[in-house]
Chains A and B, each alone.
Chain A
Amino acid sequence: AQSVTQPDIHITVSEGASLELRCNYSYGATPYLFWYVQSPGQGLQLLLKYFSGDTLVQGIKGFEAEFKRSQSSFNLRKPSVHWSDAAEYFCAVANGGGAQKLVFGQGTRLTINP
Protein backbone atom coordinates (compact mmCIF):
# COMPACT_ATOMS: atom_id res chain seq x y z
CA ALA A 1 0.00 0.00 0.00
CA GLN A 2 1.17 3.48 -0.68
CA SER A 3 2.28 5.80 2.11
CA VAL A 4 3.57 9.34 2.51
CA THR A 5 6.05 10.67 5.06
CA GLN A 6 6.62 14.31 5.85
CA PRO A 7 9.62 14.25 8.17
CA ASP A 8 9.20 17.77 9.52
CA ILE A 9 6.23 18.38 11.80
CA HIS A 10 6.96 22.09 12.24
CA ILE A 11 9.25 24.47 10.36
CA THR A 12 9.95 28.12 11.12
CA VAL A 13 11.50 30.44 8.54
CA SER A 14 11.98 34.17 8.32
CA GLU A 15 9.95 36.22 5.90
CA GLY A 16 11.86 36.52 2.63
CA ALA A 17 13.86 33.35 3.23
CA SER A 18 13.68 30.31 0.99
CA LEU A 19 11.61 27.28 1.92
CA GLU A 20 11.81 23.57 1.27
CA LEU A 21 9.27 21.11 2.69
CA ARG A 22 10.15 17.47 2.43
CA CYS A 23 7.91 14.64 1.25
CA ASN A 24 8.80 10.99 0.72
CA TYR A 25 6.39 8.47 -0.70
CA SER A 26 6.19 4.73 -0.96
CA TYR A 27 4.54 3.34 -4.06
CA GLY A 28 5.56 0.70 -6.58
CA ALA A 29 4.55 2.31 -9.84
CA THR A 30 4.67 5.90 -11.01
CA PRO A 31 2.68 7.83 -8.46
CA TYR A 32 0.37 10.77 -8.81
CA LEU A 33 1.67 13.35 -6.30
CA PHE A 34 0.08 16.42 -4.79
CA TRP A 35 0.76 19.26 -2.39
CA TYR A 36 -2.13 20.90 -0.54
CA VAL A 37 -2.17 23.90 1.79
CA GLN A 38 -4.53 24.45 4.70
CA SER A 39 -4.90 27.85 6.31
CA PRO A 40 -6.20 27.87 9.90
CA GLY A 41 -9.86 26.92 10.11
CA GLN A 42 -10.10 26.29 6.37
CA GLY A 43 -10.33 23.37 4.02
CA LEU A 44 -7.46 22.21 1.84
CA GLN A 45 -6.43 23.93 -1.37
CA LEU A 46 -4.41 22.27 -4.13
CA LEU A 47 -1.01 23.93 -4.67
CA LEU A 48 0.32 21.69 -7.42
CA LYS A 49 0.29 18.16 -8.79
CA TYR A 50 2.55 15.78 -10.68
CA PHE A 51 1.26 13.05 -12.97
CA SER A 52 4.03 12.59 -15.53
CA GLY A 53 6.44 14.50 -17.74
CA ASP A 54 8.61 17.35 -16.54
CA THR A 55 9.75 16.52 -13.03
CA LEU A 56 9.73 20.16 -11.93
CA VAL A 57 6.15 21.38 -11.57
CA GLN A 58 4.95 24.89 -10.94
CA GLY A 59 1.98 25.66 -8.75
CA ILE A 60 -0.01 28.54 -7.41
CA LYS A 61 1.30 31.21 -5.02
CA GLY A 62 4.86 30.89 -6.34
CA PHE A 63 5.41 27.30 -5.18
CA GLU A 64 7.17 24.57 -7.12
CA ALA A 65 7.96 20.93 -6.46
CA GLU A 66 10.42 18.46 -7.90
CA PHE A 67 9.73 14.76 -8.41
CA LYS A 68 12.81 12.61 -7.85
CA ARG A 69 12.08 8.97 -8.55
CA SER A 70 15.50 7.77 -7.31
CA GLN A 71 14.85 9.33 -3.91
CA SER A 72 11.07 8.69 -3.81
CA SER A 73 10.68 12.35 -3.00
CA PHE A 74 8.46 15.25 -4.01
CA ASN A 75 9.77 18.26 -2.10
CA LEU A 76 7.97 21.60 -2.14
CA ARG A 77 9.97 24.81 -2.56
CA LYS A 78 9.47 28.54 -2.60
CA PRO A 79 12.33 31.00 -3.17
CA SER A 80 11.01 33.72 -0.84
CA VAL A 81 8.22 33.20 1.67
CA HIS A 82 5.63 35.76 2.68
CA TRP A 83 3.85 36.02 6.03
CA SER A 84 0.68 34.82 4.30
CA ASP A 85 2.36 31.47 3.58
CA ALA A 86 2.00 30.48 7.23
CA ALA A 87 -0.23 27.40 7.10
CA GLU A 88 -0.14 23.64 7.22
CA TYR A 89 1.09 21.80 4.15
CA PHE A 90 0.16 18.28 3.15
CA CYS A 91 1.76 15.99 0.63
CA ALA A 92 -0.43 13.27 -0.87
CA VAL A 93 -0.13 10.33 -3.26
CA ALA A 94 -2.72 8.56 -5.40
CA ASN A 95 -2.44 5.11 -6.84
CA GLY A 96 -3.77 5.86 -10.30
CA GLY A 97 -6.71 3.52 -9.91
CA GLY A 98 -10.29 4.39 -10.72
CA ALA A 99 -11.33 5.47 -7.26
CA GLN A 100 -9.13 8.60 -7.12
CA LYS A 101 -8.22 7.91 -3.50
CA LEU A 102 -5.48 9.97 -1.91
CA VAL A 103 -3.16 9.02 0.94
CA PHE A 104 -1.94 12.04 2.90
CA GLY A 105 1.18 12.68 4.89
CA GLN A 106 0.98 13.91 8.47
CA GLY A 107 1.44 17.53 7.48
CA THR A 108 4.10 20.19 8.11
CA ARG A 109 3.13 23.35 9.97
CA LEU A 110 4.94 26.41 8.64
CA THR A 111 5.51 29.44 10.84
CA ILE A 112 6.89 32.68 9.39
CA ASN A 113 8.98 35.01 11.53
CA PRO A 114 8.71 38.71 10.65
Chain B
Amino acid sequence: NAGVTQTPKFQVLKTGQSMTLQCAQDMNHEYMSWYRQDPGMGLRLIHYSVGAGITDQGEVPNGYNVSRSTTEDFPLRLLSAAPSQTSVYFCASSTNYEQYFGPGTRLTVT
Protein backbone atom coordinates (compact mmCIF):
# COMPACT_ATOMS: atom_id res chain seq x y z
CA ASN B 1 0.00 0.00 0.00
CA ALA B 2 1.97 3.02 -1.28
CA GLY B 3 -0.60 5.70 -0.39
CA VAL B 4 -0.17 8.81 -2.54
CA THR B 5 2.79 8.92 -4.89
CA GLN B 6 4.06 11.90 -6.87
CA THR B 7 6.60 12.16 -9.65
CA PRO B 8 8.98 13.77 -10.26
CA LYS B 9 10.40 14.83 -6.90
CA PHE B 10 12.28 17.77 -8.40
CA GLN B 11 11.93 19.58 -11.72
CA VAL B 12 13.50 22.63 -13.33
CA LEU B 13 11.70 24.22 -16.28
CA LYS B 14 12.40 27.17 -18.50
CA THR B 15 9.72 29.83 -18.93
CA GLY B 16 7.19 28.73 -21.53
CA GLN B 17 7.81 24.99 -21.24
CA SER B 18 4.99 22.64 -20.38
CA MET B 19 5.02 19.59 -18.19
CA THR B 20 2.81 17.20 -16.25
CA LEU B 21 3.12 16.42 -12.57
CA GLN B 22 1.95 12.91 -11.87
CA CYS B 23 -0.11 11.83 -8.87
CA ALA B 24 -1.47 8.39 -8.07
CA GLN B 25 -3.20 6.84 -5.08
CA ASP B 26 -3.99 3.24 -4.28
CA MET B 27 -6.56 3.79 -1.51
CA ASN B 28 -9.60 3.97 -3.82
CA HIS B 29 -10.42 7.48 -2.61
CA GLU B 30 -12.94 9.42 -4.67
CA TYR B 31 -11.62 12.84 -3.70
CA MET B 32 -8.27 14.15 -4.88
CA SER B 33 -6.71 17.60 -4.77
CA TRP B 34 -3.68 19.57 -5.90
CA TYR B 35 -2.15 22.26 -3.69
CA ARG B 36 0.79 24.57 -4.05
CA GLN B 37 2.85 25.61 -1.04
CA ASP B 38 4.66 28.94 -0.96
CA PRO B 39 6.52 30.44 2.01
CA GLY B 40 4.21 32.28 4.38
CA MET B 41 1.08 31.34 2.44
CA GLY B 42 0.29 27.86 3.64
CA LEU B 43 -1.23 25.52 1.07
CA ARG B 44 -3.52 26.85 -1.60
CA LEU B 45 -5.92 24.68 -3.56
CA ILE B 46 -5.31 24.60 -7.32
CA HIS B 47 -7.81 22.02 -8.60
CA TYR B 48 -9.76 19.18 -7.10
CA SER B 49 -11.79 16.18 -8.18
CA VAL B 50 -14.74 14.46 -6.55
CA GLY B 51 -14.48 11.37 -8.72
CA ALA B 52 -13.39 10.05 -12.09
CA GLY B 53 -14.45 12.42 -14.84
CA ILE B 54 -15.29 15.29 -12.45
CA THR B 55 -12.92 18.15 -11.72
CA ASP B 56 -13.29 21.72 -10.54
CA GLN B 57 -11.20 24.79 -9.86
CA GLY B 58 -9.79 25.74 -6.51
CA GLU B 59 -8.41 29.02 -5.26
CA VAL B 60 -5.49 29.43 -7.71
CA PRO B 61 -6.31 27.51 -10.94
CA ASN B 62 -4.83 29.85 -13.56
CA GLY B 63 -2.06 28.28 -15.63
CA TYR B 64 -2.92 24.73 -14.61
CA ASN B 65 -5.08 21.98 -16.09
CA VAL B 66 -6.23 18.69 -14.61
CA SER B 67 -8.09 15.61 -15.72
CA ARG B 68 -9.33 12.53 -13.89
CA SER B 69 -9.82 9.57 -16.19
CA THR B 70 -9.41 6.97 -13.43
CA THR B 71 -9.95 6.89 -9.67
CA GLU B 72 -6.23 6.31 -9.13
CA ASP B 73 -4.61 9.08 -11.19
CA PHE B 74 -4.89 12.86 -11.05
CA PRO B 75 -2.20 14.56 -13.16
CA LEU B 76 -1.57 18.32 -13.04
CA ARG B 77 -0.48 20.01 -16.25
CA LEU B 78 1.39 23.28 -16.51
CA LEU B 79 0.53 24.69 -19.89
CA SER B 80 3.25 27.36 -20.24
CA ALA B 81 5.44 27.59 -17.18
CA ALA B 82 6.07 30.98 -15.58
CA PRO B 83 8.46 31.95 -12.76
CA SER B 84 5.42 32.62 -10.55
CA GLN B 85 4.74 28.87 -10.67
CA THR B 86 7.96 28.12 -8.82
CA SER B 87 6.61 26.29 -5.78
CA VAL B 88 6.23 22.98 -4.02
CA TYR B 89 3.24 21.02 -5.28
CA PHE B 90 1.34 18.52 -3.19
CA CYS B 91 -1.26 16.04 -4.29
CA ALA B 92 -3.72 14.64 -1.76
CA SER B 93 -6.50 12.10 -1.71
CA SER B 94 -9.16 12.08 0.95
CA THR B 95 -11.88 10.11 2.59
CA ASN B 96 -14.19 11.49 5.26
CA TYR B 97 -12.28 14.78 5.04
CA GLU B 98 -9.02 13.18 6.15
CA GLN B 99 -6.48 14.13 3.50
CA TYR B 100 -3.48 11.95 2.71
CA PHE B 101 -0.64 13.88 1.14
CA GLY B 102 2.03 12.81 -1.28
CA PRO B 103 5.70 13.73 -0.69
CA GLY B 104 5.56 16.74 -3.01
CA THR B 105 7.23 17.98 -6.20
CA ARG B 106 9.61 20.92 -5.96
CA LEU B 107 9.33 22.90 -9.20
CA THR B 108 11.62 25.74 -10.24
CA VAL B 109 10.85 27.84 -13.30
CA THR B 110 13.71 29.94 -14.61
- As a 0/1 sequence over residues 62 to 99 of chain B, the CB contacts with chain A under 8 angstroms (1 = contact) are 00000000000000000000000000001010100111
Residue pair B31, A99 in contact (C-beta under 8 Å):
yes
- Within 8 Å by CB of A105, from B35, B42, B48, lies B42
Chain A residues with CB under 8 A of B31? 99-100
Interface centre among A49, A99, A103, A104 (most CB of B within 10 A): A99
A53 within 8 A of B: no
List A39-95 residues whose CB lies under 8 Å from chain B.
42-46, 49, 51, 90, 94
Considering only CB atoms and an 8 Å cut-off, how many residues of chain A contact the other chain?
23
For the A-B complex, the count of residue pairs with Cβ-Cβ distances under 8 Å equals 58
B-side interface size class: 20 to 34
Smallest Cβ distance from A111 to chain B, in angstroms? Answer: 16
Known: A9-B40, A43-B103. A99 touches B56 (CB 8 A): yes
Residue pair B48, A32 in contact (C-beta under 8 Å):
no
- Measured CB to CB, the nearest residue on chain B to A43 is B101
Q: How far is the CA of A100 from the CA of B51 in the complex (A)?
A: 12
Residue pair A106, B41 in contact (C-beta under 8 Å):
yes
B45 within 8 A of A: yes
Could you list 11 further interchain pairs (A-B, Cβ under 8 angstroms) beyond the known A34-B97, A102-B43?
A: A43-B90, A44-B99, A45-B101, A90-B43, A99-B50, A100-B48, A100-B94, A100-B99, A102-B33, A106-B40, A107-B42
